[in-house]
Structure 1
Amino acid sequence: MTKILSKADIMAANDLKTETVEVPEWGGSVIVRTMTGLDRDQFEASMIKEDVGGKRQPDLTNMRAKLVALTVVDESGDRVFEPSDIDALARKSCEALDRVYRAAQKINGIGASALDGAEKNSEAAQSGDSGSV
């Protein structure tokens, strides 16, 4: 039988994984980390926008740069990029950006289903269902 975790056990767990990704276009490597729950929520929320009529629609603008900015960290685990860096990061080589983006997708379990999930959550919010427990 496995141990039933306490709040202290959960809070003390070092559960953020990292992966080093070689980026030859940038002349070195970057460290990609799993997102926190808050990071994931921010990323998914950034993929949705409201149109003029108030209906929520997918917004894939700077999707790669947003995920890279949220997941690339330094050796201390601190984010390398600020939200204000996203537009400049989006102007970097698509080859390099895709390389890091794919690693971030993989380590965070993100694929096409992530956007689908965000869309479903926005639809639930529009219908008045908060989706909370």
Structure 2
Amino acid sequence: MLTRELIQAAVDLKSEVVLVPEWGGEVTVIVMDGRARDAFQVAMQAGDKSVSYFQASLLVAAVVGDDAKPLFTADDIDWLRNKSSAALTRVGRVAERINGFGVAAVEEAEKNSEAATSGSSGSA
């Protein structure tokens, strides 16, 4: 059984490196912690509803540098929106997937839920 200490010590904020040829290199996308996700959701409720705003805001929340600190700030959203839509989409899709956003993440969660419940027969 998990203890408070084990949960505190767990490294649960995974990351994934994404090649972005349009930018000439790679970026690291992370699973947001609870506070970053809260800030992202507040920004989505209050801000522009366009795809480019969503993607740029997602990159602000989920892309980090080599020092594991955010690579971008909210002040970077406007110029990020002017970058390649292919690059924004590529990085954004990874951020969506590893953070549980979007249709694919919901479908995966449902599939995992069905597999877990089908493991117990419940028949007499």
Shared fold, TM over 0.5: yes
In the alignment of these two chains, the number of paired residues is 103
Amino acid at match of 1:38: R
TM-score norm. by structure 1 comes to 0.70
Q: Percent identity?
A: 45
Residue in 2 aligned with 1:89?
80
CA distance in 2, matches of 1:35, 1:8: 21
Describe the superposition over 1:63-119 as per-residue Cα deviations: whole angstroms up to 9, x where unpaired: 1000011111112211111111111111111111111000100111101599xxxxx
Amino acid at match of 1:37: G
Amino acid at match of 1:22: L
Unaligned runs of 5+ in 1: 50-57, 115-133
Task: Spell out structure 1 runs of 4+ moving beyond 3 A.
Answer: none
Deviation at 1:47, TM superposition (A): 1.5
Out of 92, 106, 117, which is 2:97 matched to?
A: 106
CA distance in 2, matches of 1:60, 1:98: 16
* More contact order relative to length (CA 8 Å, sep ≥ 6): 1
Instruction: Give the alignment of 1:44-63 within 5 angstroms.
Output: 44-49=41-46, 59-61=48-50, 62-63=53-54
TM-score norm. by structure 2 comes to 0.75
